[in-house]
Amino acid sequence: MTQQAEANKKKCYMSIDLKSFYASTECRERILTITRENIRAFLAGKPQNVVNP
């Protein structure tokens, strides 16, 4: 990969909230839905829920 191509790559960092492991099924489903929406928005070039833009 060229240096320019490497510089143009977007990075997405994800972390897991271990407390959600013990959450209800509905809560975990909501977290997964929000995560999917965030990834789709990021890939579309319109990130949402951004911390320190």
Q: What is the mean pLDDT of the chain?
A: 77
Average of per-residue pLDDT across 9-29: 72
Band (pLDDT 50/70/90 cuts) for residue 28 is confident
Average of per-residue pLDDT across 41-45: 89
Cβ contacts of 33-42, under 8 Å, gap ≥ 24 = 39/12, 42/10, 42/12
CB 52 within 8 A of CB 45: no
Residue 37 is predicted with a pLDDT of 92
On the question of pLDDT at 16 being above 60, the answer is: yes
Band (pLDDT 50/70/90 cuts) for residue 32 is confident
